[in-house]
Amino acid sequence: MKIHAILLLLLHGVTCFQRDYSNRLYYTVKTTNPNIAQLAATLDARYEGQVGELKQHHWISIPKSSPHITRRFHKRDMLLSPQIPSRHRLFKRAPPPPTAPVLENTEEEYKLNNQTPPLNLPLLTDTDGYTRIKTILNITDPGFDQQWHLLNRNEMGHDVNVTGVWSQGITGKNVIVAILDDGLDMDHPDLRANYFAEGSYDFNNHVKDPRPRLQDDTHGTRCAGEIAAVKNDICGLGVAYEAKVSGIRILSGEITEADEAAALNYAYQENHIYSCSWGPPDLGEVAEAPQGILLDAIQNGIDNGRNGTGSIYVFASGNGGANDDNCNFDGYTNSIFTITVGAVDKMGNHPYYSEKCAAQLVVTYSSGSGGYIYTTDVGENQCSERHGGTSAAAPLAAGVFALVLSVRPDLSWRDLQHLCVQSAIPISLDDDDWSVLPSGRQFNHKYGYGILDAYRIVELAKGFRSVRAQTHLSITSEIDVDNTPLSIQDITPVANTSIDPSTAFTSTLTMTKENVQKHGLSRLEHVTVTVNIEHQRRGDLEILVESPNGVSSQLGTPRKYDTSSDGLVNWTFMTVKHWEESPVGNWTLRVVDGRNPEYRGQFIDWTLTLWGESEIGFFMENKTEHEKNGTRKEPTQSFMDTTNEDEKEEGSFGLYGLVSVFMLFSLASTAYVVKKYMLGTHQYVKPTEEDTYEFDNLLTQEESDED
C-alpha cells in the first residue's frame, strides 16, 4: 500500500473506534480545552478521541456500572451530549411503490412542452446514429442500451446530455465521490477499479470495509454505479465513469449523531462530493433538521473541506410528493450548504413522488412513466433494472458535478450552485408554477431552475469566474417585553397575533439600501426565513415570502398528514427563487390558514436572512496573497452598482480561503464563541453564560459533586 494511503488510514482510524454499548455510556463534549483527555481521566472517564474532523468535539465514555460517575456527568447535561444509537432516524429515498397511473408513450417522439430544443451540442445528431455513437466512444457495456438517462434514443433530448462531454475526454478523472448510504460492493467488476478505499468506512459496524452486509443493502451500490461504473462488458456505465467512489456506510444499523457527523466529514480532503440519497421520513407529517454537532459537521465541511473550497453535499429532495410532503420541512435539503436535487421521468414529467419546494435547485432523471434507472447491483456481475426515486436523481447529479470538478477543481461550493442556476434548462413549460424572475431566469417549485444538463454546465464551468466571499444580514420582527418595536427601520413588528382561518396573515420587514451596503452584500443568493408559529394543526398552514420585486416563494405547503400541534419553533425555511434579485425594499411574509377553521394558531415572530456574495473590497483587510496578486477576476455587475458595465473596474478579490476568513472576521470580537444554530440553518450569536463552558471548571466542581 502506498505511504499516502497508510497515512490516511492512520489518520481516520484515530477517531473511529469500536463501541461497547452494553457496558459503557458514551457522550460527546464540545470544548476548546487541549487537555480534554486529562480532564476526562480526572472524572474517572475514558477519553475515546476526537469526533471525526471536528476539533472541538470529543468522545468520552464511562462504565454503566459506576453510578457515581454517571450522576456526576448527568449533573452537567449542558456540557455533555449523550450519544444513543438510533435505528430509525434516516431513511433511504429509493423508489416508492407506484400509487399513480403509469404513463406510457412509445409511439410518438416526446417534445419539450412549449419550448425550442435546448441550445447545446450533444454528440448525437441527425446524421450520427446510436450505434455510431457507441463506436466513437468505444462503449461495449451491454446495459448501455437501457441507460436512457445517458443517451435517450426514444425520447430525444431527455437525457443528461453527456456524450459531448465524454467526447472531449472529460470523464471525471481525479474526482472522488463519497456515497453516504448502506454500503458499497467494491468487488463488483463495475466498481472495483474506481473504488477509493482510503475514503471509505463503515460507521454502522465500525470497521474500515463498508461492504453490504444485509439483504437490502443494495441502495448504495446502485447509486455508486450511476456515478462511476467503468466501461467494460458488464452492466452499464456511470455518468463519470473515470471518477472514484468511496463508500461510507451509515444506513444499515444504529448510528449516533456524532457518528453521522464524522461521516459527513470523513476524509474530506480526499472525498470531494458527498452523495446523500436519504433523510427524515417522507410521510408528510414531520419537520426534522440536523442540529448541534451535525450542523457543526456540515459547516466544517463547507469551511475546511476540499482544501477550503468546501465539500459538495448533494441531497435527494425526497419521495413524499404523494403525501403532500415538501422538502422545506427537511433540514438537510433546505440548508444553504447543500444542493437539493429533485426528479423528472424519461418523458420530462414531474413524477408523483418527487417533493417540491423553494429550496430545490435543479432536477435530473429518475423513475416514472414506466421507466427506471439501469445501474450496477450487489453481487458478482449483477445489474439493476429498477433503480429510481429521488435516490437515483441525487447521485446522477453528483456524477455530473464530478465532471465539472474534473475540469475546474478550484471551484467552490457556491460556485457550483451558481453554475446550476445559470445552466439549468426549464422543461414542461405548460406547468403553471413557472415564474419569470427579475434575473430573466425561470423557476418552478417542482423543477427548481430546470433540468441539469452535463454539457451546458461543463462548458459554462470552463470559463466561470469564482464568486467572492459570502456575507449575510438579518432583520427580525421580534419586539421587546414592553411591546414596543425594535429599533429596526420601517418594519412592522407583530407578536402573538392570531391567524385568521379565512384570510392571509401578513408581516413586512424592510431591507434598506444602507443596511445592505453596511453588510457588503453585492449579489443575493439564498434567502432564509425563520418563523415561530403556534398552531393546533401544523399541516393546515401555507407560508409564503414575497420579495420587493413581487416574486413569491412558497416556503411551506399544507400537508394533509401533518396533524402536529407543535407548530413551528425556530424553524428555518430556505428559498433559492430570489437568486440575484435586488434585496432592497419590503419583504412580506404571508401565513394562510384556510383548511380547518376549528384549529387556531398564534404568530409569534419571524426573521429574514439574506445570504450572498460580498462587495469588492468588503474583506480587503483580510485578503490572502493569492487575491493580492490579482489572479482572480470579478463576476457580473451587482444590483447595488449603477455604473455602466464598461466603466466597471475589474477586481481581483477571489474566493480562495475567504469563506474561512469571513468566519474568522465575524468571530473576532470574542476569544471564545460558540455557534448557536436555528433549525435548518444557523446564525452566529455572542455566547451567553449558558452557552459558554470551560472544562477547567470541572476540576473545581468535582469534589462538591461527589455523593
Residues with catalytic function: 181, 219, 391
Q: Cα–Cα distance between 273 and 74 in angstroms, integer?
A: 38
Q: Cα–Cα distance between 615 and 471 in angstroms, integer?
A: 9
Residues 6+ apart with CB under 8 A from 514: none
The answer to whether residues 369 and 102 touch, using CB atoms and an 8 Å cutoff, is yes
Looking at the DSSP bridge assignments, the partners of residue 316 are 341
Question: In degrees to the nearest 10, what's the CA dihedral of 154, 160, 165, 167?
Answer: -20
- Which candidate, 440, 453, 357, places its Cα nearest to that of 397? 453
CB atoms within 10 A of CB 432: 7
Place of cell 445528431: 125
Helix (H) or strand (E) holding 509: strand 504-511
Q: Cα–Cα distance between 417 and 467 in angstroms, integer?
A: 11
CB atoms within 10 A of CB 240: 34
Residue 664: exposure state from Cβ atoms within 10 A (0-12, 13-18, ≥19): exposed
Q: Is 261 helix (H, G, I), strand (E, B) or coil?
A: helix
End-to-end CA distance of the chain: 53
DSSP-assigned letters across all residues of 51-112: ETTEEEEEEEEEETT-HHHHHHHHTTTTTEEE---BSSS-EE-PPPPP-SPPP---SS----
Q: Cα–Cα distance between 222 and 630 in angstroms, integer?
A: 44
CA atoms lying within 13 Å on the CB side of residue 473: 22
Place of cell 450542523: 295
Give the three cell numbers for residue 163: 456524450
For the chain, give the longest Cα–Cα distance.
Answer: 86
